[in-house]
Amino acid sequence: MDPIIFLSAGVATGTVLLFATIGEIFAERSGVMNLGVEGMMLIGAMSAMTTVVRTGNPWLAVFVAMLAAGLLSQVHAIITIRFRADQVVSGLALNFAGIGLALVFGEGLSKAGAVALLPSFSFPLLSQIPILGPILFTKQSVMVYLGYVLIPLAWLFINRTRPGLHLRAIGEFPAAADALGINVVRLRHFYVFVGGMLAGLAGATISLAVSPGWFSELTTSGQGWIAIGLVIFAQWDPVRAAVGAYTFGALRRLILDIQGPTSILGLRNPFYYLPYWGFFLEMLPYLFTVFVLVVGSREALRKRLGAPTALGVPYVRGERGL
């Protein structure tokens, strides 16, 4: 098992989690929790596959995937922001709806055969950097490089711009933001839409770059739930989200690689000769996600971790409180 190869593949896999996690960070920073990330990712993957099969244009497929997932996210936004319904219940319903719609409209896509994919390339100079070059900049998809750009842009937007200040304000003290003339409802709708678009981008990355030409209910494999856990792990920070996403991507890839017949450090590979051990390894990312969600659900720890004060709390103008 070549560590360079599996780490490089882990970066590609982690890019999917990166897009979905940063999208959820934008939504939750505005005060809206959206648990429908998995469903929006599957809608994005289905829309991208359908578009590229019919048009042969992967760039158009990415745009359609982002738009479809973004529009689906507005169902959640209307229910929770306009009608002030419970965000957890609405998010779960959105997740089921997204998965159902994707499977109905995506029927037969698994038999579509070869499709046009997003390009992969190497940076001539950066790929020559020892160790990091072959991992980060050699024969990676354009979506991986887009992820590299998104990380600093998201951090700078949230922490160093006036619109980012408004985003943090509506997630922390929406009443104060409203008093200053910031339209809380409109901005919350917008950032839920941004979160949905990035979830759709994550789904399109799976269909057109990471696992091209294959679509089923297992396409996302629970990565939307991992992204939600990573938001808490990252303490709502895009840079920490990148660390978590790439680490989980490498872990998911490692679980696949160590189950092959190749020996580990010259020893007999127990995961090959005892395949049941591999099932326990596959549980690790999801066990960690459950642990993070349980820990993050405790109010005192949420505040300590830096969760937005108004997260999950509907805003009603004129009411006392947040």
Residue-by-residue DSSP string for 51-70: HHHHH--HHHHHHHHHHHHH
- The per-residue pLDDT for 189 is 97
* 190-219 per-residue burial string, b: 16 or more CB within 10 A, e: under 16: bbbbbbbbbbbbbbbbbbbbbbbbbbeeeb
Cα gap 127→124, rounded to integer Å: 6
pLDDT, the chain, mean: 85
- The per-residue pLDDT for 305 is 66
Lowest-pLDDT range of 93-102, 178-187, 192-201, 246-255:
246-255
Which tokens sit at 309?
Answer: 């004060």
CA proximity to 201, closest of 59, 297, 28: 59
Instruction: Please tell me the total count of domains within the chain.
Output: 1
* Structure confidence by residue, pLDDT tens digits, 176-212: 999 999 999 999 999 999 999 999 999 999 989 887 7
Decide if 103 is inside a domain. Answer: yes
Give the residue with greater pLDDT, 87 vs 260. Answer: 87
DSSP label of 120:
E
pTM of the model: 0.91
CATH number for the domain spanning 173: value is 1.10.3470
Looking at the predicted structure, is the pLDDT value of residue 263 above 80?
A: no
Lowest-pLDDT range of 63-72, 89-98, 279-288:
279-288
* Structure confidence by residue, pLDDT tens digits, 69-82: 999 999 999 999 99
Looking at the predicted structure, is the pLDDT value of residue 131 above 90?
A: no
- Find the mean pLDDT for residues 34-61: 92
Give Dmax over CA atoms of the chain in angstroms: 69
Its domain, for residue 24, covers: 3-305
Decide if 317 is inside a domain. Answer: no
* pLDDT bracket for residue 9 (50, 70, 90): confident
* pLDDT bracket for residue 148 (50, 70, 90): very high
Q: Are 247 and 23 in contact (CB under 8 A)?
A: no
Decide if 31 is inside a domain. Answer: yes
Query: What is the Cα 203 distance to its own chain's centre?
Result: 8
Decide if 112 is inside a domain. Answer: yes
* Structure confidence by residue, pLDDT tens digits, 294-321: 665 565 455 556 789 899 889 887 665 5
Cα gap 72→53, rounded to integer Å: 22
Lowest-pLDDT range of 78-82, 122-126, 221-225, 268-272:
268-272
Decide if 313 is inside a domain. Answer: no
Give the residue with greater pLDDT, 227 vs 302. Answer: 227
Give the residue with greater pLDDT, 313 vs 277. Answer: 313
How many CB atoms lie under 10 A from the CB of residue 65? 33
Decide if 319 is inside a domain. Answer: no
Decide if 320 is inside a domain. Answer: no
- Find the mean pLDDT for residues 83-99: 93
Decide if 310 is inside a domain. Answer: no
